[in-house]
Structure 1
Amino acid sequence: MVAGAFAGIAEHSVMYPIDLLKTRMQMVNPTPAAIYTGIGNAITTISRVEGYLSLWRGLSSVIVGAGPAHAVYFATYEAVKQSMGGNAAGHHPLAAATSGACATIASDAFMNPFDVVKQRMQIHGSAYRTIIECATTTFRNEGLKAFYVSYPTTLMMTVPYTALQFTAYESLTKVMQRHRRVGYDPLTHCTAGGLAGGVAAAATTPLDVIKTLLQTRGTSADPEIRQARGLMGAAGIIWRREGAKGFFKGTNARIVTSAPSTAICWSAYEVAKAYFIRVQNESE
């Protein structure tokens, strides 16, 4: 759990500015000032107009939530993987996929409210300056449901995302490390994690766009968006206004975020886990 918490904070902190950009690119009916033509242009524009520190607005919500959420995430992953025989010799893609799906169901229940706060602070012109202000205002105006209206959509995205990512990660590490040894192999874990994260991110972008609409609906001046009730309602809005291409907004930013983030996450997790295993072995 400590290794998982360390991995989660490292993952989200390093790539946070690109994650902020992804949120803005996925917005439906953004303000003219929030329409960007590319990642480089967007970062330059945001830094010049809003200040460099605005790229990190909402980071505190991720730090507070990611540590405990990833602790639950990786603890669940290891427990389910062990119970399904995933640690035995050989290749076990089903165990990897199932353990990943169980892990994200457990962690997203905790992380979803923090993700809502994060995205509301990331949008252009956000009036929130602290996570406490954002959380209390959201709860007062929209109630507890505002923090979980996107949870079913989140699970529909993260369960296949994580199952695909974990399966790809386990498979790639098996291929890259034919005779896997106990310990930390930075090149293998970093490369496998990055490739797995990029593939999974590209495949689940449409659901991420829907999730963004649901999680930021309370900040919109558009009555139809504010009344979006769930996955189908949000998907209908996107389809009517932007067509099929609307479901792939921010794909590049999502891949650019997810590939290195996953590489960082798995690398940090594996090195922390290897450290604790070594300490335990030495004490024994």
Structure 2
Amino acid sequence: MTLLGGGFLKRANPSHLQDIFNKYATVEKNGEKFMTPEDFIIKFLNFLDEKNYNVDTTKLLAAIVDTSKDGLISYQEFQAFEGLLCFPDALYKTAFQLFDTNGNGMVSFQEFVEVMQKTELQKKIPFNMNSPFIELYFGRDKKRLVTYNEFSQFLHDFHEEYAIEGFRRADKEGTGFISILDFQDIMISIKSHLLTKQVQSHLIETARESQGGSRVSFPYFIAFNSLLNNMELVKRIYLNVTNGHRTQEVSKEEFMHSAQAMSQMTPLEVEILFHLCDILHQTGRIVYNDLYAIAPEQYFKQITNRLAEIHAVSSPEERGVVIQILESTYRFALGSIAGAVGATAVYPIDLVKTRMQNQRAGSFIGELMYRNSLDCFKKVVRHEGILGLYRGLLPQLMGVAPEKAIKLTVNDLVRDKLMDKNGNIPLIGEIVAGACAGGSQVVFTNPLEIVKIRLQVAGEIAGGAKVRAWTVVKELGLFGLYKGAKACLLRDVPFSAIYFPAYAHTKAKFADENGYNSPLSLLVSGAIAGIPAASLVTPADVIKTRLQVVTRAGQTTYTGVLDATRKIFVEEGFRAFWKGAVARVFRSSPQFGVTLVTYELLQRYLYIDFGGTRPTGSELKVTAIGDGKKPRNPDHVGGYSVSLPIFTGIETKFGLCLPKFNTTKAS
């Protein structure tokens, strides 16, 4: 395992890599197979359009892998590059090998010029190769060879120097000013990879309002570029002001105070930031989404997203048993805490729901003691006190931990099995995973619920002896604790089959354009998903309640699910199956909303990466790399899993755009 971009990337299996190489290699010499530049760049990487690609660019990019520089890629070179891609500095290593055209492990001035002359940028705004900046790295006579570490620093500095060179060329009279049109041209030509469409379309407007005229000063030019280069820092400053909240509006003064405390971000940079945001929505304040409108997805974000995708479809069997046990323990802890919070928050509603469901039409006066749920709530408080609303809470909390743990674990397991190679799961797969999770939890929930229900209805008997949980357990025995289990299955299986997919899709609808959910959107998503799930399974819940409560004198007894269904329908009518439906929705909907928002916030702030999937309900919404039209090649394994963002990063990180298309169609 190698640490890359905040995640672990595993080397590909050599035999598997050999099979993949043989699949794409089209040249054979002396019994050995080789890839051509087209085989690697076009067919394997899918990096350029196979119908109209630039031949020179294809050869130049393939030469990164072809260290022998013979025009062909051997399996040994293919395997070595896969290993290189696993390094944390893979982007810089790849860029270095792009410029190391003779493969001697050093970059000369001639090699640097040779590659630069092929870039779109050098053709449009030629860089002065005799500038003092070049001499500082390659020497006055330009004979000095630059090592990898030195070249990585050179690339970083050259990127910034190029913008300054563009300013110098436009400032022919040396006044320290350029026209707004020159400013726009330089930014679009040299810094286009740092510009979103919104910023690019408002460059002139922003500069004119900020500078108060038709010229742009050098300090403004430097501050503008510095701001674009440091948008990740800007985001951290914003989150520091809002304590992690992403929808809170922040004023310039608030942002400035945090910026000075955290970094050396200048007042001019802050001024430009707020000018850009104000042009977008004109409020004088910024929110987190404004920052994404200014900053495009950068190379490191692409790498992080790709690693998240890899984790999402990685097989748990690839990790050690100890790691899997630790991950299960972690999920158990989060699920138990979240479940306890959710259950406690709505327990009084659950007690009212249970008593309403147990109330039946009968001959003796005690049966019709509640007119409706509100009347039930008032009478419980009046006769039993506030604590009466929490009868049976302790066994409920004792059951929450194993219930949530088994539900989340089974749901994750089934989802993993039903996912395709790209980490996608169809709706039917989500439903099946939820149903399995609901069925698995009954082994824990049925015993705890039957004890809870008997404690909840005990207060209805005036003058009755105080009932304790352990007394109920001893009275029921092992098999008695599973009385009504069939009805419990009829309730929990469809509930989870409805709830988990509904929550996942509702949450996605409420997420912002970056896939982020605020705590409020998580709460609302959980509550909305609970409405259909809770209401539609109420009949099964009524039957389960009738089977599990203690039957008093004069009440109808039931021998099983079918018997209870028939007798309830005959004696009380169809409406009896929906008793407590409103209370159930008002209990289950907010309970699962509170549970899921607690769970997601816990895993969001206390998340530990065990190398497997993230806990259910917190999967990362990954932004696709590229235009999303071509599916990711399943043969991109090991280091090649991040090959596309690495190659794309040469342009997005360093601005070295190579021509992608021929003026004439490639053969």
From 138, 146, 150, the counterpart of 2:476: 138
Quick one: distance in 1 between partners of 2:445 and 2:584? 19
Give the aligned residue type for 2:456: Q
Deviations 1:130-153 (A, max 9, x none): 2111211222xxxx3322121111
1:265 has 2:595 as partner: yes
Query: 1:164: how far off?
Result: 0.6
Query: 1:89: how far off?
Result: 5.9
Query: 1:122: how far off?
Result: 0.5
Aligned to 2:607, what secondary structure does the other structure show? helix
Mapped contact 1:214–1:234 kept (Cα < 8 A): yes
Mapped contact 2:508–2:515 kept (Cα < 8 A): no
- RMSD of the alignment, in Å? 2.4
Quick one: distance in 1 between partners of 2:601 and 2:436? 23
The percent identity for this pair of structures is 29
Aligned to 2:553: 221
1:194 has 2:532 as partner: no
Mapped contact 1:69–1:107 kept (Cα < 8 A): yes
Quick one: distance in 2 between partners of 1:278 and 1:181? 20
From the superposition, tell whether residues 205 and 99 of structure 1 become closer, same or farther in structure 2 (CA, over 3 Å).
same
From 433, 454, 467, the counterpart of 1:129: 467
From 239, 254, 263, the counterpart of 2:569: 239
Query: 1:279: how far off?
Result: 7.1
1:38 has 2:372 as partner: yes
Aligned to 1:100: 434
From the superposition, tell whether residues 33 and 219 of structure 1 become closer, same or farther in structure 2 (CA, over 3 Å).
closer
1:6 has 2:337 as partner: yes
Quick one: distance in 2 between partners of 1:50 and 1:34? 18
Quick one: distance in 2 between partners of 1:154 and 1:27? 16
From the superposition, tell whether residues 89 and 173 of structure 1 become closer, same or farther in structure 2 (CA, over 3 Å).
farther
Higher RCO (C-alpha under 8 Å, 6+ residues apart) = 1
From 353, 360, 369, the counterpart of 1:29: 360
Quick one: distance in 2 between partners of 1:179 and 1:86? 25
Quick one: distance in 1 between partners of 2:599 and 2:335? 6
Quick one: distance in 1 between partners of 2:597 and 2:584? 19
Aligned to 1:68: 402
Aligned to 1:15, what secondary structure does the other structure show? helix
Aligned to 2:579: 249
TM-score by length of 1: 0.87
Give the aligned residue type for 1:134: V
The structure that has the greater radius of gyration is 2
Quick one: distance in 2 between partners of 1:33 and 1:155? 28
TM-score by length of 2: 0.39
Query: 1:88: how far off?
Result: 5.4
Deviations 1:232-260 (A, max 9, x none): 11112211211001111111101110110
From the superposition, tell whether residues 86 and 258 of structure 1 become closer, same or farther in structure 2 (CA, over 3 Å).
farther
Mapped contact 1:121–1:128 kept (Cα < 8 A): no
Mapped contact 1:4–1:75 kept (Cα < 8 A): no
Deviations 1:144-194 (A, max 9, x none): 332212111111111111101111111111222264547x63122211110
Aligned to 2:536: 203
Query: 1:127: how far off?
Result: 4.2
Query: 1:101: how far off?
Result: 1.2
Aligned to 2:451, what secondary structure does the other structure show? helix
Mapped contact 2:487–2:543 kept (Cα < 8 A): yes
Between Structure 1 and Structure 2, the one with more helix by share is 1
Quick one: distance in 2 between partners of 1:102 and 1:131? 29
Deviations 1:207-243 (A, max 9, x none): 1100100111x34324641xx1211111122112110
Aligned to 2:261: none
From the superposition, tell whether residues 78 and 48 of structure 1 become closer, same or farther in structure 2 (CA, over 3 Å).
same
Aligned to 2:467, what secondary structure does the other structure show? coil
From the superposition, tell whether residues 259 and 209 of structure 1 become closer, same or farther in structure 2 (CA, over 3 Å).
same
Aligned to 2:378, what secondary structure does the other structure show? helix
Report matched runs for 1:166-185 at 5 Å.
166-177=500-511, 179=513, 181=515, 185=518
Give the aligned residue type for 2:560: G
Mapped contact 1:23–1:212 kept (Cα < 8 A): yes
Deviations 1:61-98 (A, max 9, x none): 10111112211111222222222228956673223212
Query: 1:278: how far off?
Result: 5.4
